[in-house]
Amino acid sequence: MIHRLLAVLHARNLEFLRDRSTLIFTLLLPVLLVIGMGFVFGGPERPLFKVGVVAPHIDPAAHPFLRERYVEFIPLPQAAQALEKVRHQQVDLLVDLTEPPRYWVNTDSPKGYIVEQLLLAAAPAAHREPVSGAALRYVDWLFPGILGMNMMFSCLFGVGYVVLRYRKSGFLKRLYATPLSAFEFLSAQVLSRLGLILFVTVILYAGIGAIIGFHNAGSTLLLLLLACVGALSMIALGLTIAARFSSEELVGGLLNLLTWPMMLLSGIWFSLEGSPRWVQWVAHVFPLTHVLDAARAVMLDGAGLAQIAPQLLFLGATALAFLAFGAWSFRWRID
């Protein structure tokens, strides 16, 4: 019995080691994750306060207050959106340091009171404009991220492994003998998975809302449209991975290579506001980032169709591009 076990163990180890692509991903993925988390979470100690500045960029030489320690200054050139952040206590203070200087502070925010004293020490003549509004709970901000993460895993892994299983079992080889085209087969897979994901997402939305409640200032129908377009984009992305490969380990490695950066950089758990520009640029390559940005704009700020149209266009364009590429590169058989 031990000899048989060792023989099978030896054969499986050789099979894994000879699969060069899987071996590379197994070794490379943890290294990339460590490097990525070092860039995102590394660096100096995090500031205690967040202050929005009505300006396209921050110039510390422009005013002594901008050189305060333990304060993170975020450029917010659009004053209307910046005021919403003060109202929801997403920033502790909003300042406009052009002459005459003025600032907006939420009278219900304890951190706003403290950072206001720092501002007045550097600019005693600054004009105060109070803003009121309850802080958004973390659960209100996190809720769209949880739904988006569940959607991401269902889209990528739910479709990728199904197509891979069809190919390895020979089912695709039998379908190849029929008049069915690759585009038709992939479209059917997309629509099937889309219906399941929307059903599960609606159940989660209603169930979690009934249990804990959450803030939703926008249209539920608009959220449903966003979920539909966003799911289409991520399902099509998963299909491009499974369209050609036949190695389960390789497909799993590629899907993990997509999901982990999206989990870290798409804003599921924390906001990337104030992070380096290149990090934000990389984050906006992922479909999940656009889904969450649009969902939070609708739910937290009451945005309408015009406000989230850029995200919807990006998601729709990527869905078509991924589906077209997947159909072009699709392989029915292993050999």
Which of residues 12 and 215 earns the better pLDDT score? 215
| 314 has a pLDDT exceeding 90 | yes
Indicate the pLDDT class of residue 19, thresholds 50, 70 and 90.
low
Which of residues 43 and 230 earns the better pLDDT score? 230
Rounded mean pLDDT, 102-117: 84
| 225 has a pLDDT exceeding 90 | yes
Indicate the pLDDT class of residue 276, thresholds 50, 70 and 90.
confident
pLDDT at position 255, please?
79
pLDDT at position 25, please?
54
| 329 has a pLDDT exceeding 70 | yes
Indicate the average pLDDT of the chain. 78
| 26 has a pLDDT exceeding 60 | no
Distances (CA, A) of 206 to 198, 211, 214, 232, 254: 12, 9, 10, 21, 33
Indicate the pLDDT class of residue 202, thresholds 50, 70 and 90.
confident
pLDDT at position 162, please?
74
Q: Which range is most confident: 134-138, 165-169, 246-250?
A: 165-169
Indicate the pLDDT class of residue 317, thresholds 50, 70 and 90.
very high
CATH architecture of structural domain 49-131 = 3-Layer(aba) Sandwich (3.40)
* CA atoms of 106 and 112, how far apart (whole Å): 6
Which is nearest to 276 in space by CA: 95, 46, 39? 39
pLDDT at position 133, please?
60
pLDDT at position 120, please?
86
Instruction: Kindly tell me the burial class for residue 273, based on how many C-beta atoms sit within 10 Å of its own C-beta (0-12, 13-18, 19 or more).
Output: middle
pLDDT at position 40, please?
54
Indicate the pLDDT class of residue 165, thresholds 50, 70 and 90.
confident
Ranges of each domain in the chain: 49-131, 138-329
pLDDT at position 45, please?
62
Q: Which range is most confident: 41-45, 111-115, 176-180?
A: 111-115
How does DSSP assign 272-335, residue by residue?
Answer: -TTS-HHHHHHHTTSHHHHHHHHHHHHHHH---HHHHHHHHHHHHHHHHHHHHHHHHH--SS--
| 27 has a pLDDT exceeding 70 | no
| 315 has a pLDDT exceeding 90 | yes
- For residue 12, how many other CB atoms are within 10 A of its CB? 10
pLDDT at position 283, please?
84
Whether pTM > 0.85 for this model: the answer is no
| 65 has a pLDDT exceeding 70 | yes
